[in-house]
Amino acid sequence: MAIVVVAILLTLPAAAAQDHAPYQVGDQRSGYTYLSPELQAEQNDDLGNQGMLWVERGETIWRTPAGPAGKSCASCHGDAAASMKGVRARYPAWNDALGRPIDLEQRINLCRTDRMGAPAFAWESEDLIGITAYVGRQSLGLPVGLPRDPRLEPYRKAGEAFYNQRRGQWQLACSDCHVDAAGRHLRGDLLSQGQTNGFPIYRLLWGGMGSVQRMFRWCNEGVRAGPYDYGSNEYIALEIYLAERGRGLPVETPAVRR
């Protein structure tokens, strides 16, 4: 019954094909291509893009010493424009010490605890979102491309299975909305392909910035399924699958989305 209801709500035809280069690679389209011209202009404008407030916060954190070691991010990495270029485009990545993949937020927190002796930032805190957005901004326009690391493959497969598994009271999979119904309206929302190349994003609905895992949790709750914990293996695997699905799309951090 829930699937029938959703099918009825998907009332408008898929959006007509447009030239969205460089925000389209083959059949894969960034969420940018689903925005109104006004929101596209907001994302493009560094002064109008509200996500840049978090980038500025992150730049301050980058230069500020923390922990008993008295080190800042810049103490080890120097100029972020050079040292962090391309980093956002290749995460999640394998971590040898942990023996598993980690995402960019986890990498940042490991640097704080292991290198600086400082406490980790809490998930979704203004500080973690800010420094992640600042690091991500250094890869602006570069194509997403995870390393071809065979150790990531089991996680990619697990993420793909998660993506296609129906869950919650609505019995919907991620793919039901972001593959089968991409470009159609669900009530007042235009469904995109759910690409992750813009995260962290400034989302109008949230009135602030959020990570990709916040979006995962929001979507899980939207289909009335219990969300997983931040940093869970399930969400890291999903990040890996979606990064591979969006391979070649440009990093847009901080993207603007509805």
Comparing C-alpha atoms, which of 62, 70, 124 is closest to residue 87?
62
| 34 secondary structure, DSSP code | G
Q: Is the dihedral of CA 111, 80, 103, 255 positive or negative?
A: positive
Catalytic residue (one of 73, 174, 177, 219)? 219
Is residue 76 part of the annotated active site? The answer reads: no
Distance between CA atoms of residues 45 and 118, nearest Å: 34
CA distances in angstroms from 224 to 11, 185, 187, 220, listed in the order given: 22, 19, 17, 6
Element (H, E) at 208: strand 208-210
Distance between CA atoms of residues 211 and 209, nearest Å: 7
Is the backbone peptide bond immediately before 22 cis, with ω within 30 degrees of 0? yes
| 196 secondary structure, DSSP code | -
Cα torsion for 209, 199, 241, 152, to the nearest 10°? -100
Q: Residue 80: CB partners within 8 Å, gap ≥ 6? A: 59, 62, 73, 74, 134, 135, 138
Token pair listed for 219: 């979507």
So which residues are the catalytic ones?
Answer: 219
